[in-house]
Every structure is written in C-alpha cells, then in structure tokens.
C-alpha cells in the first residue's frame, strides 16, 4: 500500500521516489506504434514538462508482452508498473482498451460473480463482469487471490493479500480504436489546448450544466420489484446545486429538467430537457457537466410517463415512452473548443467494448476534456437527495456520490486525477460488493493532470527541448 499517495490525496503534495517530486510525475503507458506515429504525443509530453512535470513513456520495449493483447498484455503492464510506481503519481494509459484484444487493455473483473446471469438489479441482463483500469492503480493487492482466473471477485479476492483498493497510481486513459492516430491526436490536442488557454478565457469553466431525467415512475415494474414513488434525477441535481455549486463563489448552473408527460419535475429549470436544448446549451461552453439518466453504450435517454391510461396511478410499460437526450452522434455538434469535465450518472456509457461509445466520442470531438464513464450497469448511493441538507452517503459507491466528490475537489483546485481517486477512496465501504462494483466500473478518461483552472499561466519552463522526456531514455519523437 502506497500510504504516501493515499495521504497526498487528502493532504496535498508529497515527496518520494528516485525522481523526487512524484506529485508531479507521470508515466504514459502506450505502444511503440503510437509513439512512432502520433503527431501530438511529443507535444503533449512537452506541454506537461513545461509545467514542471516529469514524464516518462513506456511501451512493450519496457513492459514486454510484444505481440500479446488482452489479459497477457494487461498482466505484463501491471507487473511493470509494480516495479516503477514509486517514481510516479499519475499513469496515463493510451491504447486500445478492449479487455480481450486491446493492446493497452482494461481488466475484466467479476465483482458480481454471485449474481444471476439473467437478472442484473431488476434488468434481464448478465452484468456479473465488467471492465476496469483499477488493477493498474491498486498494484499491491492480488486481484485473483483465490487463483481461479476470475479477477476482482467480491469477497473471494478480498482480505489479507487481496485487492485493497488503495491506489498506488492515479490512473486515467485515452482510448484508441483501430490504431487511428488522427483520433488520438485530436484528444491530445484538446488536452494541450485546454492547458494552454489564456487565464482571461476561463470564465466558462465556472458554469455547470445539470441535465436530469426521471429514472423511474411510481408503480414501474422491474424483475421482482415495483417502485413505490417517482425517482427524478433532478433531486440529485438540486442537492448538488445546493450543497456544492451555490456555496462556491463565482459559480453558476443551468438546469435542464423534465417538462413533458403527466409526471414532470417538481423543480424549476432554466431549460427543458431535450436533445436539441442539450446540444445547443453545451456548445456554449461549460466547465462541468453532471447529468442523470438511463444510459447505454452510445446514448442517454429520458423516460416520459405519457398517460395513466387505466387510471391506477401506476406507470406501466405501455404508458411510458423513451427518447434520447444525448447520443454519440451529437458529440461533434457539441464540441466548441471549450470542453469541460463530465460525469454521467448513466449505465454503460464508458464501455470500452463498444466503438464510438459516448465517452470516447465526447473526448474525441472536444466536448469533454475529462470524463467519468461506467462500463456496466451502475449502482448508486443511498443519499437522501430529496433532502438538500442530508449528508452524502458513502457506504455505497456510484456515479452520483463519486461525481459529487469529484466536482468538489475540482472546484477546490485539485487535478482531475487527484479528484477522481480521492472520490474512489472515500466512496464505498470495503466490505460492500456493490461499492466495489461502483468503484471499479467507473473509469476516468482524459489527462489526469488537468485542473478546472489549468491555463498558460501554469508554464514554468517554456524552453523544454523537443522530443525527449527528462531522464527516462524514452523518446517521443517520431523516427526520422
């Protein structure tokens, strides 16, 4: 357990490792092909170094497993990080994330191994396994403690010697599909530009967009369960507005709540929740986006109770309709050169198995510069969102309470990496299986060193020489 890193998440910078100040040291884990063919990776490294970061780049020349993909490659990368993590605080993974055939793969973990293959929390799905980058962060625990080949099993792989969820590295990812360097370079360029913004151009980052749909209606049936009351995502948004945004000086919010159907939001909002309104508003530029709604890999939907046809006061499937409020196809229209940090309280929007998933598209088109996206059916906290003065519940772990903690730390000036990993440490009891599921399926995408107020004023060494990191021997220059 890297106690120094855990303490730093709560108490600020620390010093350790052979390179010195590891709070400002990052290792980029990628491939030879990306190093040689990306037109912007070297520029990205120089941008970090100009801000006082030590950056090293590791490929299969360093971690091995050349020609391997999926689990063998993941094992090799993790073994390498176990030997070098003391020199770094951040790790940025750049490559294909697919757990089975990716070259910088995620891990497939079986947190819900004891669940039915046909019932996922009331939905007729198999969600016993999901993808995660967490084993690259928690490097001291054995994620297959019982040796059965299924990693991250709740209970079975926990305990003495098992996974402990304490991060040795603050891990993030930039996804690359089909070795498309143009797409990678677009994401790297967006991160560079975000950090190079003039201090006078940061006002938009103090604006928060809060789109929130209904999750369920009274009487709605799932497998073995009927909802006793409406569940409006706007309750979470209002709690967040009251507890986090309003006390933060100089911050403002634009709310987008449900106005259609026979059960509309009880809360006022600046805009109605529609796909067209979301695209238009987001394009204007927001530093933070925190949405609530049912998701799939490429989309998030509104659920509308159109009519109580039988008059029983309960929502039946035939009385409800679903319409999207965002889709992967919208990302290009949203992108405006003023990206922000995004948390979606939605299932599956960060599924690395799906090309053009919503998270990767928002990063690609400059709508998001950093995003928390789930790879599976996402649990939630049991916070009493309807009571704006209730405390944030931290036994469970979901995109809702992790998102609140993440944005709190961003507003306080933390980097995205510090903010997300602090949230993962705080949100969730160690012995709670669904807390383990929430922590692991919620992966962060983007440059982990960026802050909400990152700007050109952060540059302390504008004369960093091109094409090589400080002392790693890892060149980021394309061969000539």
Q: Considering the entire predicted model, what is its pTM?
A: 0.92
466 confidence band (pLDDT: 50, 70, 90): low
Q: The domain that contains 99 carries what CATH number?
A: 3.40.50.10390
The total domain count for the chain is 2
pLDDT at residue 90, as a whole number: 98
**Arithmetic mean of pLDDT over the chain:** 92
Domain shared by 260 and 128, yes or no: no
Domain shared by 230 and 316, yes or no: yes
Domain shared by 221 and 332, yes or no: yes
pLDDT digits (tens, 9 = 90+) for 131-188: 999 999 999 999 999 999 999 999 999 999 999 999 999 999 999 999 999 999 999 9
Domain shared by 144 and 256, yes or no: no
Domain boundary among 130, 150, 180: 180
Q: Exposed e or buried b for every residue in 283-311, given b needs 16+ CB within 10 A? A: bebbbbbbbbbbbbbbbbbbbbbeebeee
Reference 74, options 102, 94, 109; nearest CA is 102
14 located within any domain: yes
Task: Extract the tokens encoding 445.
Answer: 């995408």
Q: What is the mean pLDDT of residues 98-112?
A: 96
pLDDT digits (tens, 9 = 90+) for 379-401: 999 999 999 999 999 999 999 99
Domain shared by 285 and 174, yes or no: no
Domain shared by 376 and 345, yes or no: yes
Q: Is 251 left (phi over 0), alpha (psi -120 to 50) or beta?
A: beta
Three-state secondary structure call for residue 171 = strand
pLDDT at residue 360, as a whole number: 98
Domain shared by 137 and 217, yes or no: no
Q: The domain that contains 359 carries what CATH number?
A: 3.40.50.1460
pLDDT digits (tens, 9 = 90+) for 269-314: 999 999 999 999 999 999 999 999 999 999 999 999 999 999 999 9
pLDDT at residue 349, as a whole number: 98
Domain shared by 166 and 244, yes or no: no
Q: Which residues contact 121 (CB under 8 A, 6 or more apart)?
A: 127, 222, 377, 379
Measured between alpha carbons, how far is 113 from 151 in angstroms, rounded to an integer?
A: 10
460 located within any domain: no
Domain assignment of residue 284, given as a range: 202-449
Judge whether 427 and 405 are in contact, CB under 8 Å.
yes
Q: How many CB atoms lie within 10 A of CB 66?
A: 12
Measured between alpha carbons, how far is 164 from 178 in angstroms, rounded to an integer?
A: 34
- Its sign, for the CA torsion 79, 83, 88, 94, is negative
Concatenated DSSP letters of 16-53: -STTS-GGGEEEEE--HHHHHH-SSHHHHHHHHHTTT-
Domain shared by 171 and 216, yes or no: no
Measured between alpha carbons, how far is 88 from 66 in angstroms, rounded to an integer?
A: 24
Judge whether 33 and 97 are in contact, CB under 8 Å.
no
474 located within any domain: no
Domain boundary among 180, 213, 245: 180
- Percentage of residues in the chain having pLDDT higher than 70: 92
Domain shared by 122 and 58, yes or no: yes
DSSP bridge pairs for 209: 254, 289
- Our CA dihedral for 272, 278, 283, 289, rounded to 10 degrees, sits at 100
458 located within any domain: no
Judge whether 358 and 299 are in contact, CB under 8 Å.
yes
Domain shared by 230 and 90, yes or no: no
472 located within any domain: no
Domain shared by 129 and 220, yes or no: no
């Amino acid at each position: 357990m890297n106690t120094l890193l855990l303490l730093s998440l709560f108490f600020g910078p620390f010093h350790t490792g052979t390179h010195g100040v590891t709070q400002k040291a990052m290792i980029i884990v990628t491939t030879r092909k990306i190093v040689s063919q990306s037109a912007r990776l070297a520029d990205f490294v120089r941008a970090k170094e100009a801000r006082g970061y030590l950056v090293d780049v590791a490929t299969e020349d360093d971690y091995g497993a050349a020609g391997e993909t999926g689990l063998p490659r993941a094992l090799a990368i993790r073994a390498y990080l176990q030997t070098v993590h003391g020199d770094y605080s951040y790790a940025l993974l750049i490559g294909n994330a697919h757990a089975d055939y990716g070259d910088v793969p995620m891990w497939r973990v079986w947190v819900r191994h004891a669940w039915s293959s046909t019932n996922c929390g009331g939905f007729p799905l198999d969600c016993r396994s999901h993808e995660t980058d967490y084993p690259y962060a928690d490097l001291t625990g054995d994620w297959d403690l019982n040796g059965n080949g299924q990693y991250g099993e709740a209970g079975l792989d926990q305990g003495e010697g098992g996974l402990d969820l304490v991060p040795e590295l603050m891990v993030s990812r930039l996804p690359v599909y089909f070795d498309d360097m143009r797409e990678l370079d677009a994401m790297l360029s967006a991160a560079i530009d975000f950090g190079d913004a003039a201090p006078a151009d940061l006002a938009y980052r103090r604006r928060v967009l809060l789109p929130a749909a209904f999750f369920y209606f009274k009487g709605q049936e799932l497998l073995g369960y009927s909802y006793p009351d409406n569940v409006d995502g706007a309750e979470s948004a209002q709690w967040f507005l009251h507890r986090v945004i309003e006390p933060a000086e100089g911050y403002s919010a634009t709310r987008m709540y449900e106005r259609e159907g026979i059960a509309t939001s009880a809360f006022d909002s600046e805009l109605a929740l529609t796909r067209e309104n979301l695209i238009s508003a987001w394009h204007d530029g927001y530093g933070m986006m925190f949405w609530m709604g049912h998701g799939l890999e490429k989309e998030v939907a509104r659920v509308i109770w159109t009519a109580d046809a039988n008059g029983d006061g309960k929502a039946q499937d035939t009385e409800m309709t679903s319409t999207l409020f965002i889709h992967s196809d919208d990302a290009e229209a949203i992108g405006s050169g003023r990206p922000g940090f995004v948390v979606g309280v939605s299932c599956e929007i960060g599924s690395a198995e799906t090309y053009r998933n919503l998270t990767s598209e928002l990063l690609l088109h400059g709508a998001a510069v950093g995003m928390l996206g789930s790879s599976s059916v996402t649990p939630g906290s049991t916070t009493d969102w309807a009571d704006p003065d209730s405390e944030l519940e931290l036994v469970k772990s979901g995109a809702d309470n992790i998102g609140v903690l993440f944005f709190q730390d961003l507003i306080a000036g933390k980097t995205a990496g510090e903010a997300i990993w602090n949230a993962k440490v705080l949100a969730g009891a160690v012995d709670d299986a669904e807390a383990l599921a929430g922590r692991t399926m919620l992966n962060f995408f983007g440059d982990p060193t960026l802050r909400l107020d990152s700007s050109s004023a952060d540059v302390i060494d504008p004369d960093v020489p091109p094409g090589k990191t400080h002392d790693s021997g890892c060149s980021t220059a394309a061969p000539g």
